[in-house]
Amino acid sequence: MPDPIYSTAASIGQLLLLLLIPLELLLASSARIKAEYDLRDTLANVAVSIGSIFFWGTLSWIFMGAVFLAYRHRVATVPFTGWSFLIAFLAEDLRYYWWHRISHRSRWFWASHVVHHSSQHFNLSTNLRQSWTSQFSGLILLNVPLAYLGFHPGTVALAFSLNLLYQFWIHTEAINRLPNWFEWLLNTPSHHRVHHASNPGYLDANYAGVLMIWDRMFGSFVPERAEEPVRYGLVHDLATFNPLRIALHEYVGIARDQRPRGLTWAQRLGYLFGPPGWSHDGRDRTTAALCAAATPSQNPAPGVQAASS
């Protein structure tokens, strides 16, 4: 088990990183850096964050309960050392990649994750716009294998926290490009701007948490291109700053699509678990359909993935 001081340090780090938000806003207001803030959007981010913290605190027992249960039935016991934590962190980063990719490719999981992509701005406060429902979407089970293999739940939680901690600073337009080796190996603001784009050629790319090697290995890497400025937000933007609508709008959409009579069970499951934008009548707005309708210059993406609509 890792020393509790590590988790304490991670928590303090999260609080200190929040101070970067007013700093970015201050520097942007004096035109020293590039950062676009909208008061209504930022307040919506804060409101959504309060809800996310509440539900995470209320339902975190689901996450930790599943991890502790798996650890109780572990196949081995892995001691906490520098090397074992490095392995745990790499495994956590790979888990995050697949959690993130699935969250974009299946509508049920997208309904939880879409919250984070719903802002039409991209700044450090965007970090605050997090899901209210991630604890019971089902993907929490991806955290279980590490504990089952023998990593202590404290190690799993620490790797999870540090992964998210790293991602705070990449939500910015203030940093353009970093050295080539850094851009190749690690997630950066440039890579993550692409991930938050609604341009057809940028949709559903760059799922990495920390290491970009996963995107490069699994064919989901797309570089930011100067000739195609990023448009942030969703394919169909919400046009609201209401935190309740931001947090739950996709679930409302799923319920609406389930209402028509005459749908087969396969079609109902398609609306629930199929790619976002899927339609039983062929009026698809998936990534595949959007990319097919885009001009070649708008559609250089290397793969066909589900739409983030």
So what's the pLDDT on residue 296? 54
Beta bridge partners of 152: none
Contact of 46 with 123, CB cutoff 8 Å: no
Among residues 128, 146, 105, 106, the alpha carbon closest in space to that of 14 is found at 128
So what's the pLDDT on residue 275? 93
Contact of 161 with 4, CB cutoff 8 Å: no
Among residues 99, 208, 197, 193, the alpha carbon closest in space to that of 146 is found at 99
**Token pair of 302 as six digits:** 């290397």
Indicate the domain borders of the chain. Answer: 1-309
Spacing of C-alpha 63 from chain mean position: 17
So what's the pLDDT on residue 138? 83
So what's the pLDDT on residue 303? 42
So what's the pLDDT on residue 101? 97
Alpha-carbon radius of gyration of the chain: 20
Beta bridge partners of 211: 186
So what's the pLDDT on residue 286? 80
Q: Is 110 exposed, middle or buried (0-12, 13-18, 19+ CB in 10 A)?
A: buried
Contact of 307 with 275, CB cutoff 8 Å: yes
Residue 81: DSSP 8-state: -
Q: Which residue has the tokens 């990023």?
A: 230
Could you tell me the CA-to-CA distances from 144 to 39, 93, 138, 208 in Å, in that order? 39, 14, 11, 20
So what's the pLDDT on residue 227? 93
Helix (H, G, I), strand (E, B) or coil at 211: strand
Helix (H, G, I), strand (E, B) or coil at 38: coil
Mean pLDDT by 10-residue block, N- to C-terminus, for the chain (309 residues)?
74 87 91 90 97 88 87 96 96 97 96 96 96 87 93 93 95 96 98 96 95 97 95 92 97 94 93 92 78 62 42
